[in-house]
Structure 1
Amino acid sequence: MTAGSPSTPATVALDRAGVPYTPHVYEHHDNATNFGEEAATALGLREEQVFKTLVVSVDGQLAVAIVPVANRLDLKAIAAAVGGKKATLADPALAEKRTGYVVGGISPVGQKTALRTVLDESALAYDSIFVSGGRRGFDIELAPADLVRVTNAVTRPVART
């Protein structure tokens, strides 16, 4: 475990896989509803470099989309990226049950059930990106290639403005 890092299933999975990361803890406000924007603001980062983890249902099968908090998820693009026809955001209770994380703290890493994962290709423009570390108020910084490797993700253009 990296010094100063909370232990979450995400950090445990990264440590087990030997993936280097930097933990970033910030104060989460209970009234916050846009968790990605809150993280970007609290950490002093551009929203294009902070990514949100969204659980979607594609033709009845759950998948994960990782997109910049500055953008929205293109539902048609995520459906196509996983070989499906129609995508909707998953029910929050189901997303929490399947990932083992709470909404606003869903990490793409260390989920209870490994889901098909798509990382927006814009991540590849950065040396490192920020994703949820597995709880509200905790992000992890890592190389996009390491995130792809540890989640078995594919990269596709799935974000839109």
Structure 2
Amino acid sequence: MKPATAPSALKVQAALGERFEVLEFDASTRTAADAAAVVGCTVAQIAKSLVFRAQGGRPVLVVASGIHRVEEKRIAALVGEPITRADANFVREATGFAIGGVPPVGHTTAPVVLIDEGLMGFGEIWAAAGTPNAVFRLTPADLVELTRGRVAAVALK
């Protein structure tokens, strides 16, 4: 573990400011299970970022607990229009980051943000920070503040 040095991770660090520290690891943090193993937390404490494309073309960022699969019909209902899974090109265009490193902050295009209510019960969570081996620690309240997102039931029941 070391402080951020990769350009994408430094971009996230700049967006976060001094209040948070982006950390890079030699091992992958691309998946929730990988990230949890590397940082030493439960998979549920990993805030995974999923990007969808609303029918009207706007990006929709869903930040979900690492143990939850999201219900796309619920997301569509919350957004008010149909959604589809975003491809890699759309994700990069909408967020400035590749799949596997999309942080819940620092986007050039402000997407609609929905936050899995399942993340709200933890004292701390970990989120992607720009590369497939960078993360940062925050609280659920920090996540809401940073994203200006809406907490909602997005997980499959």
Question: Does TM, normalized by the shorter one, top 0.5?
Answer: yes
Q: Which residue of 2 aligns with 1:66?
A: 63
Match of 1:110 among 74, 93, 106: 106
TM-score, length of structure 2 as denominator length:
0.86
Q: Which runs of 5+ in 2 are unaligned?
A: none
Q: 1:10 matched to which residue of 2?
A: 12
Q: Which is further off, 57-66 or 110-119?
A: 57-66
| Offset from partner CA, 1:85-106 (integer Å, 9 cap, x none) | x222111111112211111111
Provide the rounded CA distance (Å) in 2 between the counterparts of 1:130 and 1:107.
10
1:75 is the counterpart of 2:75 = no
TM-score normalized with structure 1 length: 0.84
Overall identity of the aligned pairs, in % = 28
1:47 corresponds to: 43
- In structure 1, the residue matched to 2:93 is 97
1:139 equivalent among 135, 142, 146: 135
What secondary structure sits across from 2:80 in the alignment?
Answer: coil
The one-character-per-residue Cα deviations of 1:65-110 (angstroms, maximum 9, x if unpaired) are 01112121110111122222x2221111111122111111111110
Quick check: 1:40–1:46 contact (8 Å CA) kept in 2?
yes
Q: In the alignment, residue 67 of structure 1 is paired with which amino acid?
A: A
Q: Please say if residues 22 and 142 of structure 1, whose CA atoms lie closer than 8 Å, have aligned partners that are also in contact.
A: no
Q: Which amino acid aligns with 1:104?
A: G
Aligned length: 152
Give how far 1:27 is off: 2.3
Q: Which runs of 4+ in 1 moved over 4 A?
A: none
Give the RMSD, CA atoms, in angstroms. 2.0
2:31 & 2:150 partners in 1: Cα distance? 24
Shift of 1:56: 0.4
Q: Is the 8 A contact 1:128 1:143 kept in 2?
A: yes
* Counterpart among 103, 113, 116 of residue 120 in structure 1: 116
